[in-house]
Amino acid sequence: MRSFAISIAAAALTDLAHAAPAASSFGTNGSLPNLGLYQELIELDLFHNGLAKFSAEDFQNEGLNADDMYLLQFMADQEVGHATAIAICSDYSYPFETVREFLQFSEFVTRFGEAGTYGFLEHLNSRDAAQIVLQAVTTEARQEMIFRQFEGIFPMPFWFNPAITQSMQWTLMAPYIVGCPDDNARVEFQNFPALNITNNPNVTQLTSNSTPALHDPGETIYLEWESPGKSVGPNNSYVTNTTAGDPKFIAWISQLNVTYTPLTNISGNSGHTTQPNLTIYSQSKYTDGSTAPLINGTVFVLVTDDDTIHVVAGPAAYFSG
């Protein structure tokens, strides 16, 4: 049954070769539809990859049964319907070796796909196209919630979902795409130098199903980032770059706004910051009396040269809750 479903998906993608191109858009150099397609295709390949890589016993060892595996297959096939043109990349590199690592990486990919879509909706100059994209991203958001539930953590520990720019989305996606056909439409968005949070909470070792954040406000966050000039993305045909000055701040993109904290202990391409102690609103509380933190769920962190979004490196996904 699984191989049949995968062959149906592959055939459907081939049929998309004759699909009409996505509607034009503002301020995107024609790259916006291409980026959306790359996102759908990496999700399609990723979900099928996890099903092919791990056995039913592997999934059962993590408490997931045949119905859960069928849901993963169904979500992969949803991505066929989300794609709007053909430019198939056939070679990906995924950083997981276990089922739990697969689930966390899939949550990460659907998270930045969702946030990136929210970021480009306002660029579409066709209300009809924007409506279709909106209908697709609601499915992406539910996929992310399912992966969080499969991980054993609370499905939605936030009140609002933030948006990121297309360059941020492409920066997060491109390192996992190894090879594409030479005639693929090129994505022209910028690739920023990669950022790594070295003490990121390890969600694969958690079993909590509660809303509190995984790191507390006031904790020190350790960051390392790459210098510009690294070749990344399909066929190593993209080069990371930045026009920002010296690193001075950390930007936290979460829920309603962007929050900045000072970057301290700077040494070369590394530094520290402190997780901000903020609530969504001034008196945000859950019904049990606990506060509703601004930093919760999978949020996005960047190194900047000022308390504006002028990116030195990043974003990185911070698994704060």
Quote the pLDDT of residue 206.
67
Quote the pLDDT of residue 238.
95
Determine the straight-line distance between the first and last CA of the chain, rounded to whole angstroms: 36
Quote the pLDDT of residue 32.
53
DSSP state of 160: -
| CA dist., res. 270 & res. 178, Å (int) | 27
- The angle at the Cα of 190, spanning 25 to 82, to the nearest 5 degrees, equals 50
Laid out side by side, the sheet with 298-306 consists of 257-262, 249-254, 298-306, 308-319
Quote the pLDDT of residue 51.
93
Torsion of CA 171, 177, 178, 181, to 10 degrees: -110
Selection from 261, 248, 201, 194 nearest residue 225 by Cα? 194
Q: How far, rounded to the nearest angstrom, does the alpha carbon of residue 26 sit from its chain's CA centroid? A: 23
Quote the pLDDT of residue 202.
81
Quote the pLDDT of residue 20.
29
Residue boundaries of the structural domains of the chain: 2-179, 195-319
| CA dist., res. 300 & res. 217, Å (int) | 16
CB-CB contact of 46 with 38 (8 Å): no
pLDDT in tens, 264-284: 999 999 999 999 988 888 777
CB-CB contact of 94 with 176 (8 Å): yes
Quote the pLDDT of residue 90.
66
Residues 6+ apart with CB under 8 A from 42: 89, 92, 109, 173, 176, 177
2-179 CATH choice from 1.10.3470, 2.20.70, 1.20.1260, 3.30.200: 1.20.1260
Longest dimension (CA), the chain: 57
Quote the pLDDT of residue 139.
87
| CA dist., res. 137 & res. 219, Å (int) | 33
- The stretches in the chain having pLDDT less than 70 are 1-33, 80-90, 206-213
DSSP per residue, 197-256:
ETT---GGG----SSS-SS-TT-EEEEEEPPS--EESGGG-EE------S--EEEEEETT
- pTM value is 0.86
